Homo-oligomer: A and B are copies of this chain.
């Protein structure tokens, strides 16, 4: 229903722009959409029509909403629009954006444009912005905002409420208020809810929580989002090493972080270099090639080894050529078994359900799972090869005994490699399907031909 409404809006705006009816398109947007919807339409205009028309349409939007519409756009579209509007318009947008959105935009822009924008700011403002721009990407500092409500513990509830009314504040940053001491150290937090429901004459100190949860400005965003998930907070204070409050992070930014981290894992687990900032359709063919070719090449090299192993068994193969037909099944099942284990362990570690200390429990579980699955598949294959394919029992025995060993080995490799990677500080997500399959393929080939040589006596 929601999707249909958007689809209709997008189509009508696109049709109007085709005929360059900007005023009508603007009217349709303002009547039927809020800021997020308008941003979605602009995105479609850029993708489906052209950038110039999107820029003209964007410039016709009322000043009161243009900055917020801008903040909903993906970053590459933001840069494209910035390059198409005047300095004065850029300045307006930057001024209107909330602090964390502004930093996000500035981070994406080329340095010379940032300098131009900041040249009209006060020295103090430039200093803060530059500090923020210097936090490494993906740390708590790069997510936080300095738009938060500061109270002192001596204030009464009524004074605190009056203060909040005075300073105002946009969006969700108002729902938790922070109390600092003279040295800017964080002393406590109090929610707006508590202030609203508490008696006017009491003091903030009576209600503030002193045992609050906070994150360090250099903590990784993945840890920050795990803390949010654990506690279900709307906002969290960010402190430096001296426990001085430097900013806050709100939950709406965490939603994006979670999706970004998941996309990164999905991509790495498929052997694609992660490039999670950009959308699939917006990326050029060359960039897709650049992200995919490296792993395909590395994995292909591993098959040189596998090929070499096979070549060394060529005499065996030429004697019983029917062995070749079972090779893909053994390799495929080995790869699939290993991938299952790897995915579950990688996901378990990402969700903090499995940690390195559990290595023994994981191994013991996977060994038993491997034995059961291996045995079942092995019996099925023995029967199939003897009766259905009409091969001799020795070939069937070679295939099915190899199957047991391969499944157990694959489950072991699949579960242990991601944990080993984590131990040495490599992202476990890299030890997923493609990497695991190429390793299990080697194991499968060696196991199979060794079994065949022994059992068939060739």
Contacts and interface: CB of A to CB of B under 8 A. Distances in A.
Contacts of A175: 172, 175, 192-193, 234
A224 B316 CA distance: 59
A289 B251 CA distance: 38
Given A175-B175, A192-B196, A344 B252 contact: no
Nearest to A357: B7
A56 interface: no
B373 A293 contact: yes
Interface stretch (A104-112, A113-121, A127-135, A332-340): A332-340
Contacts of A201: none
Given A255-B254, A293-B373, A361-B281, A161 B339 contact: no
Contacts of A321: 314, 317-318, 321
A455 interface: no
Nearest to A326: B307
A22 interface: no
Contacts of A53: none
Contacts of A299: 332-333, 336
A83 interface: no
A279 interface: yes
A327 interface: yes
A49 interface: no
A329 interface: yes
Interface stretch (A13-21, A59-67, A86-94, A263-271): A263-271
Nearest to A433: B433
Interface size class of A (residues with CB under 8 A): 35 or more
Contact of A314 (B269, B322, B365, B381): B322
Contact of A328 (B255, B271, B288, B303): B303
B1 A340 contact: no
A292 interface: yes
B300 A377 contact: yes
A105 B411 CA distance: 35
Interface in A330-382: 331-333, 335-337, 339-340, 342-348, 351, 353-354, 358, 361-362, 365, 368-369, 372-373, 376-377, 380-381
Nearest to A349: B280
Contacts of A347: 263, 266-267, 280
Contacts of A269: 266, 343
A329 B304 contact: yes
Contacts of A2: 213, 215, 223, 227
A296 interface: yes
A267 B344 contact: yes
Contact of A251 (B251, B271, B280): B251
Nearest to A346: B266
A325 B314 contact: yes
A80 interface: no
A85 interface: no
Given A328-B331, A332-B441, A373-B296, A255 B229 contact: yes
A279 to B, nearest CB: 4
A373 B291 CA distance: 11
Interface string A222-238: 01000111111110000
B369 A270 contact: no
Contacts of A286: 372
Contact of A322 (B192, B311, B324, B345): B311
29 contacts: A165-B196, A169-B193, A175-B192, A263-B347, A266-B266, A266-B269, A267-B347, A271-B339, A279-B351, A281-B354, A281-B358, A293-B373, A293-B376, A295-B336, A297-B377, A297-B380, A300-B377, A300-B380, A303-B332, A306-B328, A310-B324, A314-B321, A314-B324, A321-B321, A324-B324, A328-B331, A331-B331, A335-B335, A339-B434
Given A280-B362, A332-B437, 12 more contacts: A2-B223, A36-B230, A172-B175, A175-B175, A175-B192, A271-B340, A280-B348, A281-B365, A288-B369, A300-B333, A328-B441, A336-B437
Q: Which 4 A-B pairs have the closest CB atoms?
A: A303-B329, A270-B343, A232-B252, A280-B348
